[in-house]
Amino acid sequence: MSSYFSSIDISFHPDIAIKETPSTGLGLFATRPIAPHTTLLTVPRSAKIPSSLALQDPAFQPFAYKVPDTLLLAAYITKNYLSESPTPYAAAVFATVDSHPLVISDAAAAAIPDPDTRAEVMSLRKEAAAAASLLAPALGAGGAAGVVRGLAVVLSRSFNYDRVTLVPGLDLLNHASEPNISHKEAGDGSTVLTAGEDGLQAGEELVNEYCKAGTSDAVMYARFGFVP
């Protein structure tokens, strides 16, 4: 993915590396000590994937203001994934959601032991199925299943700026209740990731807080596919 990120002008600090984590797939790590507030990653506006891009596609324009931004973005990224030449990013993120509660089998969802979590997941799966039925004709073959997987991608990886947005590179951050970074949109529309107040030590993973404190385990699992 590093070469792809470079091709779309995403820039990483030279002491930041993409590495495998013990249990959560890929992550971002400091390879040397990094001072507080150092810029670690810059994602230009042109590399980001906001839900508004879907409305530039005639196939999705009939759904404007009729479905939530999350579904528009799911449909947009799904169309790319199902195309003859998906971007490396689309191919990579769709491969990460096999264990997401929207994608697992009906039997596996029904077997979730905690009743609150099971209810949250079943409700979300019902909404996803309805969305898939609505949007699938605009996507053609594989559209229904694709939209469900696309929604899993958006729920687990997107950020809320002016619109729901996928931010390649930034979405490699894994979750922690005490983040060691901060990120914001700059005036030119780019997203900038910086080291936190304590900086980073060599070998330290960069982590982000996915949800506000107090988010229930049921909601956390239904959206992101794990409980901290």
- The predicted-structure confidence for 4-50, as pLDDT tens digits, reads as follows 999 999 999 999 999 998 777 899 999 999 999 999 999 999 999 99
Of 41-50, 138-147, 172-181, 218-227, the one with minimum mean pLDDT is: 138-147
Q: In this predicted structure, what is the pLDDT of residue 181?
A: 96
Average pLDDT for 109-122: 96
- According to CATH, what is the number of the domain 1-47+167-212? 2.170.270.10
Give the pairing of strands 174-175 and 49-50: unpaired
Q: In this predicted structure, what is the pLDDT of residue 147?
A: 93
* Residue spans per domain, the chain: 1-47+167-212, 49-166
Confidence of residue 67 (pLDDT cuts 50, 70, 90): confident
What does the DSSP 8-state code read for residue 200?
Answer: B
Averaged confidence pLDDT in the chain: 93
1, pLDDT greater than 80? no
212, pLDDT greater than 80? no
Token representation of residue 2: 């590093």
